[in-house]
Chain A
Amino acid sequence: MVKEIDRAGIPVTHICTVVPISLTIGANRIVPAVGIPYPLGDPTKGEKKSHEIREHLVTRALKALTVPVDKQTVFEEDF
């Protein structure tokens, strides 16, 4: 699905839990998520901390949309 969105000219960030799969299928902007049962947040760390993690990841994923890339790029750190 990511590729078809990219193909249509709409930038897309793939927030995913298994980065190697994302790389294999050909996503271009990738943000690694926390874990399979909770990609955005970590409920084991309490609601406040979980929300904070989600905020960081979503913000990073949105900023990744503004970064010109010419190859598959994994955005590992906040920037």
Chain B
Amino acid sequence: MIALALKFTLLYGMVLMLVALGGMFSERSGIINIALEGIMVIGALIGVIITRELQGYAGFVQVSVSVLCAGLAGLAYAFLLAFASINLKADQTIGGTALNILATAIAMVIAKRVNSVGGKLSDSARLKYSYDAFVYKIFGVTVNVFLFIGIALLIISYIVLYKTKLGLRLRACGEHPQAANSVGVNVLGMRYTGVLISGFLGGIGGFAYILPSIDTWDFKNGIAGMGFLALAVMIFGQWHPIKIFLAAMFFSIFKSLANIADSVSFLAKLRWPKEIYNMMPFIASIVVLTLTSGKSRAPKAEGIPYEKGQR
């Protein structure tokens, strides 16, 4: 039972953390990235397709190539957000929402094409795949490769954001872009960097969500609201990598309740419908947001398009 709980908590925790870290990079550079949900869908789709293609290759090749492709797919999709909100100064929330809606539609179109047999299109967007190469058993606990990738990326994120020149400049662009520009920082470039990093992390996060827990996924469901939960994790984590890690673990306990309810004796006795457990992380996020609303440390310039002459 503990092994099972640990498996799902770690799984969802890493997903939420990766995506929330993505959101953090974007918002720290000044761009609200509500498109994370859509980025996850695209990353998951491409990752799954590549995994299917790579069946039979060595496990290491399967893992590294498909994870990289999932990240790059997310990055490419995030480019659309960057272009609209940085170059064209579009409303970031609306642009992101458009990309979320578009992602599910695109994913279904592509998944149906992938499912087609002999030139005939399938009517289902459900893709099957094998996750054998991604999952290991360590001391009786099922662990997937994303645990190691996630922890590595967490450490890298922390170092990049707080110990490098790039991180300092990125943060400056989210707080006061005009001031950053006055000392020679390329604001548009920094914002592009932030959004593209978030796309990369979001794409891997989407892949990490659907791959290791289940061997088939219907893209009709998109990614079931995980991207938005990750946004709540980011806010709860105060836009800081380590706090985001802790917040993600906290949320993933709620998220994994639905998976472990049947095997935990006292929860199984309650006989609650599964939907109640599905609801829990969302309720938890509302409560947490209400409690932390007073001391929000959101980057000051987020959501505001950068105008060079503006004060």
B partners with A: no
Instruction: Please give the residue numbers on chain B whose beta carbons come within 8 Å of chain A beta carbons, in ascending order.
Output: none
Instruction: Please give the residue numbers on chain A whose beta carbons come within 8 Å of chain B beta carbons, in ascending order.
Output: none
